[in-house]
Amino acid sequence: MRNMALVRYIRNVTWARKRILHNNYSPRILTKRTAVTNTEPTKPTAVSIGDAVRAEFPVGEEVCGFVVRTVEEVKELHLTAVRLEHLATGADYLHVARDDANNVFSVGFRTTPMDSTGVPHILEHTVLCGSRKYPCRDPFFKMLNRSLSTFMNAMTGSDFTIYPFSTQHPADFKNLMSVYLDAVFRPNLVELDFLQEGWRLEHQDVNDQSSPLVFKGVVFNEMKGVFADSQRLFMQKLQNGLLPSHTYGVVSGGDPITIPQLTWEQLRHFHAYHYHPSNAHFFTYGDQPLAQHLKFINDNYLSSFDRIDPKTEVPEEPSWSQGRSDHVECGVDPMAAAAGGEGGQTSVAVAYKLVNITDSYENFVLHILCELLTSGPNAPFYKSLLEPQLGSGFSPSAGYDGHTRNTSFTIGLQGVRPQDVDQVLSIIDNTFQQVAQEGFPQSRVDAVLHTLELGLKHQTSSFGLALAMTITPLWNLDGDPVEALKINSKINKFRKCLDENPKYLQEKVRQYFLQNNHKYSLTMAPKPGYEEQLQVAEEDLLAQKVSALNEHDKIQIWEQGQTLAHKQEEEEDLSSLPTLRVSDINRTVSPTPVLDLQLAGGVNVQLCQPPTNGITYFSAVLDTQHVPPHLRPLVPLLCGVLTSMGAGHMDFRELDQQADLVTGGLHVDTHTAAHPYHVGHFDQGIVLSSHCLNHNLDHMLDLWSRVFTEVRLNDLDRFTTLVNMIATDLSNSLVYSGHRYAMTSAAASISHMSALQEEWCGLSWLRSMKSLSQKKDLSDTLEQLRQLAALLLNREGMRVAVNTTPDYHTQALSKLESFLSGLHATTTSSATHNNFSSTPVKEEFTLHTRKTHHVFPFPVNFASMALPGVPYLHPDVGALRVLPRLMFRFLHREIREKGGAYGGGAMATPGGPFCFYSYRDPHSTQTLATFSDAVEWVLAGNFSERDVEEAKLGTFQSIDAPVSPGAQGMRRFLAGITDKYFSEHRQLALDTSPQDLITVARTYLSLAPIQGTSLIGPHNEDIAKDGFWNTVHD
Ligand SMILES: [Zn+2]
């Protein structure tokens, strides 16, 4: 969580993870859809976009039913913000004009449920099932393939529901805005959609009237999956407990056992009051003209509404006169890193109610204060809680949460032994006492402010979207969203307060923590049989519901199941939906300005000069081909600890401090990339990356230089702490990223590169970290890491990429030259300066068919099947790349709509395998059969030219996802994909014909000689009896 809270303030990188939030769309969309460069808005234009909007929208002017309330420039973010109010309905509108082609639209509503039926969440799903103008089933999903959007999603938070999208195409923007607005203001909300998305009673086998009745429904299953993650359970309970009196006291996403209380009528009523313009916030961003947005929204939607009082005010939480505490139970986590030995699976945290979210400056100060308290090895809570190894990591929710009416701060530990809980609680108290006494060193405050300022300059690829997400919680609760963006004035005020009163922050600690009686302590411990207990509760509820049915009801349920099944099968008429065409996709690729050089006696350096806003980005790949097999599994661990152990005269605290003062962090990760055209060949290594303001480049390279030549891999205590933290993070990621683990595992037997990925970032890595975290003495491991570091940390086998501003590149290169010259040049290994012009060595690896069941006590499954694919420039790659998008139609219907899983689909990584997957899936082997059915469905050719066109559009959303200045040229640097190769690859995808799709489906999927299958999920009788499966228990 280091540096996250502050960075989130402007960039929101961990937004979805930190909060209690339910995204509607499948992980496919959530993962690889960050897109679109935010071109640095410094191009000299005759009239700046801000001036133009200022001239056109003077304060007080009436435009298309709206009146202009304020127009303000925020210089540090290069934007001009226009706030308007819709006269008839009171709808609130914010337009952010900025020279950025990646335009954003969002409409949001304050949704304040007072029970845990999940009504806002189910409504979010159901409005996307068809509307007046777009009466087809799920127009939202259909639009995914009729658009070149860079982001489309819908999200339910604790007190809001928002519908954002972004795209670079003006026509696409109009199309999507129309579909979004129709969905939220004119949804059909038919009962069958409620039953499908929310909950229903239905025969287990919908075609067998004698099969038992069970609960089904997308959200019902989704929420069972969500709360199978004990982290999420803890976060939910903590919020409910700290802010119990109003809407934060309930589960907005839905508590599975309460969801079946919701009726269709209640859903419609909730819609009428909450999805009303008088309760709406409209947001637009980018370089498109505001006037046309206003006209469209007013003429087509708002003009037909009157003003209502939606009664969605969220009051402040009344303050308590004394603290409260509670305990919850959860499932046993077999992957939990047992830091404290036996029984170390308890989580304990204390949450403090803080200020009203609308107090913008105080919020800012609390962000910084909480960052100082928790982030990085110099933070007091890091020292007092993490380092004594009383637990395996900070508790879920730890850190500042500025998203609710009253903001909050949570601190605690997970992986604690029950007998240590009281000690943890007293450490928390003592740490606050100590900070109130001693304060923070000035250098730490400077480091946190530096991170914030660097974050303002660092251009992300989805700035507008991050902006929309950042302002939503505050704006939703009637705070001033523009005021919140003025970071510089807050930084100045903050510095002034500190100058005037050196004890400023200490007083805040006293006020908000030591003298705050509104605090809530929560413990959570696993209970054997917890899942069974939930199961029994569900069965009891089911029995109760079923016993209340009369014969007539039963017939109705049977018929309703049939109707729903038929409706799901129906071919739909999508002619009402707008669409882009493949001809809207550019045939040409704009060139990346890169230059190849050799420095310091032969290190290959790629120089790229995009407009980086005064920042230099550095990356280096160190080849690992020569690492002996016994050390190779340790490569990801070396990555995990390399910049966290200290170097040279700096211990780990000092190194971290320096990194925060001059860089955006020193990052190290594993690297694999398939060769563009040699089958089975791939590049492997570790990749180092960091960025800094140009004038800090010397300092940044000096830090890397220390890491290369003097890394301190000798502090066993520190190392043990890090191992436990890594093991905990990995363990926590399993429920969230189960489909990724399943795919990696499935692919490991059919591709050599995937086998390495399994070792470095799959379940094998997770398991090896778990076992390391249980070892009493890690000195052997540390010794091996020293050997590995000695092999890797030199300039042999190294290549470097630098992205910097054109006027700085000469200086940057000379600094780089002296940095490289100072590194060790000799090694006993056979490594050579690597790049993709030389073919990486191909090792012996026997591909084979394998089926693996990883048994975990989850109530849902993650299934995957993997088949060998082709390289990036293979003639069949285009069709294989488009195929998953075509199959998505089939897979989505079978796995999500009928099967009740949260998501499912296929993915083709060029050079890597072709993978099918399902996500939070109630089915197991049945889904594997569905994967095969998807292949048959393609072979039968029951799809149209139009379907292929849509699949291509969908594919190009990811192929053409533009990149931020810091990431330009990285495709070439990391994977050897030049502009020429990229262009050829795009042509292959663009020129794919329907027949090509059938041919590759036959060649690579139907007739594949080998395949890998993997299932992550609970014990499974069928599989246990099947001799072809390997079963792995933890
Ligand atoms: Zn959902």
Cα–Cα distance for residue pair 129/146, rounded to 1 Å: 16
Supply the pLDDT for residue 732.
Answer: 83
Taking only the tens place, the pLDDT of each residue in 846-880 is 888 999 999 988 888 999 999 999 999 999 999 99
Q: How far is the CA of 172 from the centre of ligand 1 (A)?
A: 25
**Above 70 in pLDDT, residue 659?**
yes
What is the rounded CA–CA span in Å between residue 840 and residue 619? 20
More confident residue, 588 or 1004: 1004
Residues carrying an active site annotation: 124
Write the CB contacts of 419 (distance below 8 Å, at least 6 apart in sequence).
Answer: none
pLDDT of residue 341: 45
Higher pLDDT, 356 or 9: 356
pLDDT class of 10 with cuts at 50, 70, 90? very low
Give the model's confidence band at 336: pLDDT under 50 very low, under 70 low, under 90 confident, else very high. Answer: low
Helix and strand numbers (H, E) in the chain are 38, 32
- Asked if residue 963 has pLDDT above 50, the reply is yes
Instruction: Evaluate if residue 1018 carries a pLDDT over 70.
Output: yes
pLDDT at position 962:
74
907 CA → ligand 1 middle, Å: 22
Q: How far is the CA of 900 from the centre of ligand 1 (A)?
A: 12
Give me the pLDDT at residue 244, please.
97
Beta-strand relationship, 646-647 and 650-651: antiparallel
What pLDDT score does 142 carry? 83
Report helix angle 360-374 to 487-500, nearest 10: 70
pLDDT at 934: 97
What is the pLDDT, as a whole number, of residue 36? 27
How far from each other are the two terminal CA atoms of the chain, in whole angstroms?
A: 28
Residue 280, pLDDT > 70, answer yes
> Average pLDDT in the 6-35 region?
34
Structure tokens at 92: 């609130």
Q: What is the tens place of the pLDDT at every residue in 367-386? A: 999 999 999 899 999 999 99
Q: By C-alpha distance, which of 674, 735, 766 is closest to 234?
A: 735
pLDDT interval class at 5 (50, 70, 90) = very low
Q: Is the pLDDT of residue 994 over 60?
A: yes
- Sequence-ordered alpha helix ranges (H) in 793-876: 809-821
Helix axes 716-736, 779-792, angle to 10 degrees: 90
Give the residue-averaged pLDDT of 746-768: 95
Q: What is the pLDDT of residue 22?
A: 52
- In 509-587, which ranges are E strands? 519-526
Distance 35 CA to ligand 1 centre (A): 23
Whether the predicted pLDDT of 930 surpasses 50: yes
CA of 119 to the centre of ligand 1 (A): 11
Q: What is the DSSP string of 7-39?
A: HHHHT-TTHHHHS--EE-S-HHHHHTT------
Q: What angle do CA 940, 944, 950 make, to 5 degrees?
A: 120
pLDDT digits (tens, 9 = 90+) for 491-542: 999 999 999 999 999 999 999 999 999 999 999 999 989 989 999 999 999 9
Of the pLDDT bands very low, low, confident and very high (cuts 50, 70, 90), residue 32 is: very low
Spatial separation of the C-alpha atoms in residues 165 and 720, rounded to whole Å: 43
Least confident of 307-321, 445-459, 771-785: 445-459
pLDDT at 83: 98
Residues 952 and 959: their CA atoms lie apart, in Å, by: 10
* Residues forming beta bridges with residue 688, ordered by sequence position: 620, 668
When pLDDT is averaged across residues 161-186 and rounded to a whole number, the result is: 95
* Rounded distance from Cα 117 to ligand 1 centre (Å): 13
Mean predicted confidence (pLDDT) in 683-702: 96
Tell me if 947 sits within 8 A of 923, measured CB to CB: no
Mean pLDDT value across residues 270-277? 97
Q: What are phi and psi of 688, to 5 degrees?
A: -105, 140
80: left (phi over 0), alpha (psi -120 to 50) or beta: beta
Report for 401-405, 588-592, 959-963: range of highest mean pLDDT: 401-405
Whole-number Å distance, alpha carbon 549 to ligand 1 midpoint, is: 29
- Residue 1029 in contact with residue 1023, Cβ under 8 Å? yes
In angstroms, the CA 99 to CA 638 distance is 42
Measured between alpha carbons, how far is 457 from 311 in angstroms, rounded to an integer?
40
Alpha carbon of 325 to ligand 1 centroid (Å): 30
Q: How far is the CA of 122 from the centre of ligand 1 (A)?
A: 7
Strand positions, DSSP E, 390-518: 393-394, 399-401, 406-416
Per-residue pLDDT at 843: 62
pLDDT digits (tens, 9 = 90+) for 288-304: 999 999 999 999 999 99
pLDDT at position 826: 64
Q: What is the DSSP letter of 860?
A: S
* pLDDT value of residue 593: 87
Q: Is the pLDDT of residue 546 over 50?
A: yes
Q: What is the pLDDT of residue 39?
A: 35
- Distance from the alpha carbon of residue 860 to the mean position of ligand 1, in angstroms: 15
Query: What b/e sequence results for 670-700 when a residue is b if at least 16 CB atoms lie within 10 Å of its CB, and e otherwise?
Result: bbbbbbbbeebbbbbbbbbbbbbbbebbeeb
Position 508: which residue type?
A: K
Who's near 847: CB < 8 A, 6+ residues apart?
Answer: 749, 750, 751, 752, 868, 1010
